[in-house]
Amino acid sequence: MLSFFITTPLIVLMILNLPFRSLMKRIVFVVGLSLALIQAVLVALAIFGFWDIYSIPVSPMLRFNIGVDNLSLLLLLCNGMVVFITMLVSRSFIEEGEKRFNFTSLLLLSFAGVNGIALARDIFSLYVFIEVVSISSFILICFNKDRDAFEGAFKYIILSAIATIFMLTSIALIFLVSGDMSFEAVRAALDNSAHTSLVLMAIGLFLCGFFIKAGVVPFHGWLADAYTSASAPVSVYLAGVSTKAVGVYALIRIVVTVFGFDTPINKVLLFAGALSVVVGAIATLTQTDFKRMLAYSSISQIGYIVLALGIATPLGIAAAAFHFFNHAVFKSLLFVNAATLEIATGTREMDKLGGLAQRMPVTGVTSALACLSIAGVPPLAGFWSKLLIIIALWSSAHYNYALIAALASLLTLGYMLLLQRKVFFGSVGDHLARIKEGEWNLIICAIILAAVTVGVGVLFPFNLCKLIIR
Amino acid sequence: MVNLNTILTIIFVPILGAFLLPFAGYLSVRLRNFLALGLVAVSFLGSLSLIPQALSQSPLSFSLHLPFINFNFSADALAVFMAMVSSLTGLIIVLYSFDYISHYQNQNEYYVMVVLFLGSMMGIIYSANLIFLYIFWEITAICSWRLIGFFRAENDVLRADKAFLVTFLGAIIMLIGFIIIYQQTGSFDLAVCKEYFLASSLPNIAVLLILAGILSKSATLPFQTWLPDAGVAPSPVTALLHAAVLVKIGVYVYARLFVATFPIAVFWHAVVPWVAAISAIIAAAAALIETDFKRIVAYSTISQIGFIFFGLSIGNEVGIVGGLLYILMHGLAKAGLFLCAGIVEQNTHTKDITRLGGLIRTMPVTAMAFLFCAFSVMGIPPFGGFFSKLMVFMGGVQSGQFLVSFVFLIGAFMTVIYLFRLFRMVFLGEAKISAKEGSRTMVFSVAMLAFLSLLAGILVMYPARFALAAVKQMLGLAQ
């Protein structure tokens, strides 16, 4: 059953590319939309129904091991949700016909890839799916074929290629030690091999690869360019799920399931995480482009996830997973807001905007919610994940890191208020007096995501926490 | 269970009801306004109905069992006292808003935020769980952010951001303090924490961190700067935030945590009064030279909050009773002052007191109300402020801290000077700007507050008895 998550999008993709292009072009949008929605609903039902089922079935149809645990479900859920949103947003940006057909095909390919990452249970297929997602992301970034987009995509390709080399080398080294690829076998082999320098090197290379893919400081150079130059729906997708899946999710998966926690690994994760948190937040403060600001804020938030992972306690991992989910929600929401703004005003320069909450009430309110959620202001979802991160840090005696995490959330609030002040809060300039709220599809996206953020935040103490803290 | 429902009603009817207000606003403005008033009234009446239970031997405490965190409430005399004070002043301020706000844009947002604010205030007051306390605490911060920036000019929004950032900084530091408590006791539940710290006192580092949050919310030195700047908000908002409710959150949480729940090391009883004293003197001095009407009143708030901290932190019964009474008296009187400032500002279009004068002839009721409230803040008998100030000083002297009491005496003297200066420059002398009296609802609201200030002084035995009962409960003494 689980393999359907991977095979269905692939088969749909093939069918779409069979003859009858003119028919397919008409239905492609609906097909993509419903596929993503079905996945999101299925997974959400699974979460509420039988979350505790932990199964590792081996599918004979495809020759790799797949399995699902809570972490995978979380990624599957994010993937369904964000792709659904991306499809809806793309309606306003990608013109109907050939372009939208190509866009949807690429998105479906990437969709299948992310599902593969979620379900893969051996290192090599994990790697293959990471590449599937990365390659479709390259093309999506430069989908509009303008100069900036090519530059962003090119940077991403080069750095990704380096990451690929790191990962492949590391996989080769691990294969040398273990002779098998599945997570369990590799884990057993690594445990027995008593950390020779070879294994340590493999682990180091793997971590570097993931850091590049996730955009953790000091490997963050590509991220801001790629996010900013891509067209609006692609930014939503990249920020919401694509880079999170290839970088952050894979990192969590490999560290938790394969490498296991170890003092040097923890130290590296904690340090890199804290560095990202602070550098990302400070860099955000100086940005003037709406999407660039969000991109740097992503770096900072990814830092939080890595930091939480580095705590290496169950609470820390739960906090990392929870923040992962929250970030997918509120960052997608902000990119949807950015898309709405771009259509309405034709600019992303924040200095040229102001007071738009009056003209665009839904965008104004939802963006304020997202901003507060990122900053970790209760009762929104972001507060709980940050609270868990800080509690986990403090109770494992990482006092300095806890302090950094807490004070950085002040920086976060600072830049988010800056964004609010420049764009939404404040009085409307004359040149903006005729701005109207965005189209219905963008409004729906914003409302859905805002509802998730508020809902998760308010309901968390009631029962959602069961999902996160098993 | 009836009482549990009462508490839930008090907290969540305004919080959830607030989000209905914009829809009501589309139907009819009057409907929205009265709905807002009604929601706040629910809190007030609900708290009123809790009085007998709160004064009895066994104050209410409930928990709603949730999987991760228990949602605990307690409705002891302290909570009910505080809830009465805030919802009563809140009620009058909402009434005053009807006319004041009707001239401006974004009215729907205004009412949502005010009612949400008062609802979360009830949440802070009744919850006996640190995490929920923190959540409601931050909801009030969100509301005050939107409310301070209500006029949307660049400067307004900047100052709204400043207020938010300063209080958020304090709150996040306080959160770490809570986490230290959690780490030691394994619970955020105040009742459990209280058991744990029966014998030993709270670690000083936790006290310090939590104190940072409290001082930032109550705008006390060194976090006071956001409060005068936040005077750009509409007057009912400044009354709500600076006088009656928001700044009292910090004071209340101080009473809740450091008086009622956790024993703290003895030297804090000397340190906190001094911090409060310095804050009171500096703010009073600033009020003496300031020329902006609302900034003077705002500085006066900072100064008076110092007195409240003095009473609460001095560590004896009389002082604490005085501090609690002070919360009531100051809330009523200071709200009156801010609302008077609002009437003057709206009718003369200036806040600069050097350009005002002689308004007593055209605005007699406002002037008298202002004078009454000012008398109460100064502490002139028989107004309410006199008794609270008296008891605070009695507490100070009883504890033997003569020096700090003397400093506060100077502060009280300065209060008299700057309030008389303000009154003289605005209401006496020759008229520079002609203005007419404010609208009927607005004048009625300030007159009401002035009257209540006087009444609270004449009938001081009732609130005092209540406060005494609260203190006995807090300190665990037999009644």
Residues B362 and B348: their CA atoms lie apart, in Å, by: 11
Q: Read off the tokens for A423.
A: 């764009």
Beta carbons of A366 and A333 less than 8 angstroms apart: yes
pLDDT computed for residue A202 by the predictor: 87
Cross-chain CB nearest to B165 (options A383, A406, A413): A413
**What is the C-alpha separation between B19 and B113, in angstroms, rounded?**
9
Q: Is A406 on the interface with B (CB under 8 A)?
A: yes
pLDDT band, very low/low/confident/very high, at B265 (cuts 50, 70, 90): confident
Pick from A369, A391, A393, A424 the residue to mutate for testing the B interface (most B CBs within 10 Å).
Answer: A391
Q: Does B168 touch chain A (CB under 8 A)?
A: yes
- The nearest CA of chain A is from the CA of B42 a distance in Å of 23
Residue A367 CA, distance from chain mean position: 18
pLDDT band at A467 (very low <50, low <70, confident <90, very high): very low
How buried is B434 (Cβ within 10 angstroms: 0-12 exposed, 13-18 middle, 19+ buried)?
Answer: exposed
Confidence of residue A366 (pLDDT cuts 50, 70, 90): very high
CB atoms within 10 A of CB A433: 10
pLDDT above 90: residue A274: yes
């953790």: which residue's tokens? Answer: A216
Query: Residue A276 — pLDDT band, cuts 50, 70, 90?
Result: very high
Span A297-353, pLDDT tens digits: 999 999 999 999 888 887 788 888 889 889 999 999 999 999 998 888 888 888 888
Residue A381's contacts (CB-CB under 8 Å, 6 or more residues apart) are: A326, A329, A330, A373, A452, A453, A454, A456, A457, A460
Contact A279, A408 (CB under 8 A): no
The owner of tokens 């009817």 is: B13
Provide long-range contacts, Cβ within 8 A and 24+ apart, for B26-31.
B29/B102, B29/B107
Predicted confidence band of residue A470 (pLDDT cuts 50, 70, 90): very low
Across A179-183, B457-461, B464-468, least confident range: A179-183
The single-letter code of the amino acid at A41 is: V
Please give the Cα distance from B222 to B214 (Å, whole number): 11
Nearest CA to B91 out of B133, B22, B144, B34 is that of B34
A37 pLDDT higher than 90: no
Q: At A337, phi and psi to the nearest 5?
A: -60, -40
**A396 vs B243: CA distance, rounded Å:** 41
Q: What are the extents of the domains in chain A?
A: 314-470
Asked if residue B131 has pLDDT above 90, the reply is no
> Which residue in the set B71, B105, B135 is minimally distant from A378, CB to CB?
B135
How many whole angstroms separate alpha carbon A348 and alpha carbon A343?
Answer: 10
Question: What are the structure tokens assigned to A95, written together?
Answer: 């013109």
Q: Is-contact A433 A83, C-beta < 8 A?
A: no
Distance from CA of A360 to the nearest CA of B (A): 13
Q: What is the percentage of chain A residues whose pLDDT exceeds 90?
A: 23
Q: Out of A275-289, A309-323, A360-374, B204-218, which region has the weakest mean confidence (pLDDT)?
A: A309-323
Report the C-alpha gap between A88 and A33 in whole angstroms.
7
- Indicate the average pLDDT of chain B: 86
What span, in angstroms and rounded, lies between the C-alpha atoms of B91 and B122? Answer: 13
Question: Kind of pairing, strands B60-64 and B71-75?
Answer: antiparallel
Q: Give per-residue pLDDT as tens, B405-415.
A: 999 999 999 99
Q: How would you label A312-351 residue by residue, b for 16+ Cβ within 10 Å and e otherwise?
A: beebbbbbbbbbbbbbbbbbbbbbbbbbbbbbbbeebebe
CA distances, B219 to each of A5, A40, A137, B168 (Å)? 55, 47, 50, 12
Instruction: Give the pLDDT confidence score for residue A56 in this predicted structure.
Output: 42
- Asked whether A298 and A223 are in contact (CB, 8 A), the reply is yes
* Of the candidates A233, A224, A80, the residue with the CA atom closest to the CA atom of residue A143: A233
Burial grade of B48 (CB within 10 A; 0-12, 13-18, 19 or more): middle
Contact criterion met (CB < 8 Å) for B67 and A462: yes
Beta bridge partners of B129: B189
Instruction: Report the C-alpha gap between A315 and A388 in whole angstroms.
Output: 7
Domain parsing of chain B, residue ranges: 266-479
Average pLDDT over residues A176-192: 81
- % of chain B with per-residue pLDDT over 90: 18
Q: Is the pLDDT of residue A24 over 50?
A: yes
Express each pLDDT in A47-74 by its tens digit: 554 333 334 444 333 334 455 567 787 8
Chain A closest-CA separation from residue B341 CA (Å) = 24
Q: What band does B220 get if pLDDT is binned at 50, 70 and 90?
A: confident
* Cα(A310)–Cα(A312) distance, integer angstroms: 5
- The residue in chain A having the minimum alpha-carbon distance to the alpha carbon of residue B173 is A406
Beta partners for A182?
A122
Kindly report the pTM of this predicted structure: 0.90
Q: Would the pLDDT of A216 be above 80?
A: yes
Single-letter residue type at A339: A
Tell me the per-residue pLDDT of B234-262, one tens digit each, with 9 for 90 and over.
888 888 887 778 888 889 999 888 888 88
CA atoms within 13 A on the CB side of B417: 14
Question: DSSP assignment, residue B66?
Answer: -
Q: B110, B150 in Cβ contact below 8 A? A: yes
Closest-CA distance, A380 to chain B, in angstroms, reads 9
B173 touches chain A (CB under 8 A): yes
Residues A352, A433: contact at Cβ < 8 Å? no
Which candidate, A339, A303, A349, places its Cα nearest to that of A445?
A339
Residue identified by tokens 């560095």 is A275
- Residues of chain B found within 8 Å of residue A417, distances taken between Cβ atoms: 145, 161, 164-165
The residues pairing with B64 across neighbouring beta strands, listed in sequence order, are B71
ipTM: 0.87
